[in-house]
Amino acid sequence: MAKVVGIATGVVMIGVGIAQMNPVLIAQGIMTVATILLAPSMKARTASKNTLTIGETAREGIFGEGSTGGSLVDIFNYGGKYGTDWTVAIYALADHRCEALTGFYVQDKWVPFTGDGLVAGYKNQLRVDWRPGAWDDEVPAWVLANCPVVGGVPTWTANDRGRGVAKVYVAWKADKSDAKNPVWTSGSPWSSFLWVVKGLRCYQARKDSSVGGSGAHRWDDPSTREWTDNPIDCRYTWARGIYAGDHVDDPAMLLLGRGLSDIEQPPENVFAPANLCDEPVALKGGGTEPRYRIGGVFGGDDKYIDTDDDIASACGGYTVEREGAIEIVPGAAQPVLWDITDDDLIVGSSVNSSDFRTQTDAEWVNTVAVKYIEPTQQWKDHSAPVRRDTADILADGEAKVAQPALTLCTSGTQAQRVGEMKRRMGRLWRTRSLTLPPRLVGVEHGDWIRWTSKRYGVRPVPDEPVAIIYRVESDSQDKGWQNQLTLREIRTDVYGWTVDDELDDGSVAIDNPTPDFSGAPGGGDWTLTAELVSGNGLAAPALRITGAADSDTVTSILFDYAAGSASPDAEDDAAWTSAGTLTGSATDMLIPGVMAGTTYWAAVSYQIGAERTDRLILGPVTTPAAETGGGRMLLEDGGRFLLEDGSQLLLG
């Protein structure tokens, strides 16, 4: 109900604004409506891809760079007194070989992936190993060593590779029940991971010299492929088929895509549109970005037409059928291939002409609010700035809002460009249907055609007819080779764009940074040494900690030490002896009264407000033996230091 009321309020604001000729009120009303009119299908789809899947699931792939919650392959525990200290989970991310794991979110915190092993910043309580989906990927040794054994048989063996499936092997250690600064503040992280992956390695026909391109790419040699987020190259690889283990020569191994031949999907057709997508577009803030790119998950259970539409929408384009092949034309001005006049119409054929759209026609648009996937918002769907022209709204008498859902678009500026194309197209209302003679049977779907007409041109008809450019929306030929066409008006300026057209996105919410008390002081900021302290002709062993705090928020610095051959647990307070607390940044802490010839460890931690950080452990160091001084011998006796005459020297 709140949503309905909100929309109604926005509509009233727009109506009053139009009546009063108040552009500010109109704009406020449009923002209200556009904010509320979410695209449920996109939100549901984004949420499903970013959520962990349990149980049987359809095969999935990743175009460009995208995010996925993955699907759970296995989960088990090991370690500790009860075999539950560590949890291991294996997640499948894509059913094809991928380029790289960029990083991941765990409990909403972004972690760049720097390589297999323990993850920095998690106190040795998190491990991630990545397998890209190569045919001979190996199972990590630590999984084999710690997996459950049932009936004397390990549940994981070296042969359980999951060939051709990109995976992550993850292990995390539970916090101790009395941990001062637990790592897993929200409980077990098993379902909170969101993986960001550079996905499909694609065949690029432009780089294949055997089909007219230039380069070493070959369809039948998947080792020549490269990662790309070019929409046309991604789509062509998908259309030709994605095969298990890259076995492109075995139709039975087809996992994803259509599995078409080079006859059904000619490689030479993708050269021009792929090059267009790579063209640089200037950005308002400086630099450039490719004209179009895509990133995201596609499913084996998605309809082919839906995948095609998702790709076409992301690049402001449309699908066409030409010579039996389905192709995608990215959004850009096209050359006019045909010129006709009224003399080219077949005598006696009918022409349907309309210069206006009906109230319910979705193509009549004056306001566009595009939704796309925003990587900086944890790969959630996000609204680009609303594209509108107040003069158009006043002329139409109401706001006519379109909200395209670009499920494979991950660039806000690209989303703006696509939205502006949609808005400008929404101002072109003319449609025509006509029949052309056999000599013009070559006019096909997607072609641009210029029609100079006295009868069906601009009304009222001037003395000199005005040529209008149309895009062919459909074509069909009858048995007499007559060509029936449906047309819609198009103009080259629909696709114009400059840096001045780019709007600032003021709706991106950025959380204030929260103090991170879990991390210990920086390892390079502190050093521990063992030395002899001289005084009154005597020299006794001592420990010295030197360094400086690495943060202005530190209120005090705490020092601890302990003796032993192995490093004490950083969180076990009972294992440490306090050496004192100092304030200030630059610090030199001397700890006298220690045993000679003994291995020692030291620890540094910070007090920040009411919180104490973890300990940074330093060492080990071994204290030197006592030395004589001024003719008197310093002896060690049970931790006391005695002069040779038996009198006691107290230090510390």
53-91 confidence digits (pLDDT tens): 998 899 999 999 999 999 999 999 999 999 999 999 999
pLDDT recorded at residue 38: 44
Does residue 167 contact residue 90 with C-beta atoms inside 8 Å?
A: yes
pLDDT recorded at residue 28: 55
Residue among 324, 210, 306 at smallest CA distance from 264: 324
| pLDDT (tens digit per residue) in 493-533 | 999 999 999 999 876 555 544 545 456 787 778 999 999 88
How large is the average pLDDT for residues 148-164?
96
Indicate the pLDDT class of residue 651, thresholds 50, 70 and 90: very low
Residue among 81, 57, 79, 82 at smallest CA distance from 68: 57
pLDDT recorded at residue 642: 47
Give Cα separations from 279 to 250, 274, 298, 346 (angstroms): 36, 9, 25, 41
pLDDT recorded at residue 40: 44
pLDDT recorded at residue 533: 86
Q: Would you mind telling me the total number of residues written for the chain in this entry?
A: 652
Q: What are 217's two structure tokens?
A: 């790419």
User: How far, in Å, CA of 622 to CA of 599, rounded?
Assistant: 4
Does residue 315 contact residue 289 with C-beta atoms inside 8 Å?
A: no
If 0-12 CB within 10 Å is exposed, 13-18 middle and 19+ buried, where does residue 397 land?
A: exposed
Taking every pair of Cα atoms in the chain, the longest distance, rounded to a whole number of angstroms, is: 132
523-649 placed in CATH 3.40.50.1370: no
pLDDT recorded at residue 421: 97
Does residue 257 contact residue 234 with C-beta atoms inside 8 Å?
A: no
Indicate the pLDDT class of residue 634, thresholds 50, 70 and 90: very low
User: How far, in Å, CA of 296 to CA of 307, rounded?
Assistant: 11
Give Cα separations from 446 to 357, 442, 486 (angstroms): 21, 12, 11
- Residues in a beta bridge with 418: none
Residue among 30, 24, 27 at smallest CA distance from 11: 30
Indicate the pLDDT class of residue 652, thresholds 50, 70 and 90: very low
If 0-12 CB within 10 Å is exposed, 13-18 middle and 19+ buried, where does residue 643 land?
A: middle
pLDDT recorded at residue 625: 84
Q: Tell which wins on pLDDT, 628 or 453.
A: 453
pLDDT recorded at residue 82: 92
Indicate the pLDDT class of residue 648, thresholds 50, 70 and 90: very low
pLDDT recorded at residue 147: 97
Does residue 140 contact residue 115 with C-beta atoms inside 8 Å?
A: no
Phi/psi region, residue 50 (left: phi>0; alpha: psi -120 to 50; beta: rest), is: alpha
Phi/psi region, residue 303 (left: phi>0; alpha: psi -120 to 50; beta: rest), is: beta
CB atoms within 10 A of CB 323: 9
| pLDDT (tens digit per residue) in 582-595 | 987 778 899 998 99
- Tell whether the model's pLDDT for residue 33 goes beyond 60: no
Does residue 380 contact residue 50 with C-beta atoms inside 8 Å?
A: yes
CB atoms within 10 A of CB 622: 12
Q: Is the peptide bond before 273 cis (omega within 30 degrees of 0)?
A: no
- Residues 6+ away with beta carbon under 8 Å from 300: 58, 59, 60, 61, 95, 255, 256
Q: What are 57's two structure tokens?
A: 């699931």
pLDDT recorded at residue 178: 79
Q: Which of 178-182, 340-344, 393-397 has the lowest mean pLDDT?
A: 178-182
* Backbone φ, ψ for residue 306 (5° rounding): -70, -40
| pLDDT (tens digit per residue) in 330-363 | 999 999 999 999 999 998 899 999 999 998 899 9
pTM of the shown model: 0.78
- Tell whether the model's pLDDT for residue 473 goes beyond 90: yes
Handedness of CA 389, 392, 398, 401 (dihedral sign): negative
Q: Tell which wins on pLDDT, 613 or 157.
A: 157
- Residues 6+ away with beta carbon under 8 Å from 512: none
Residue among 470, 388, 462, 402 at smallest CA distance from 430: 470
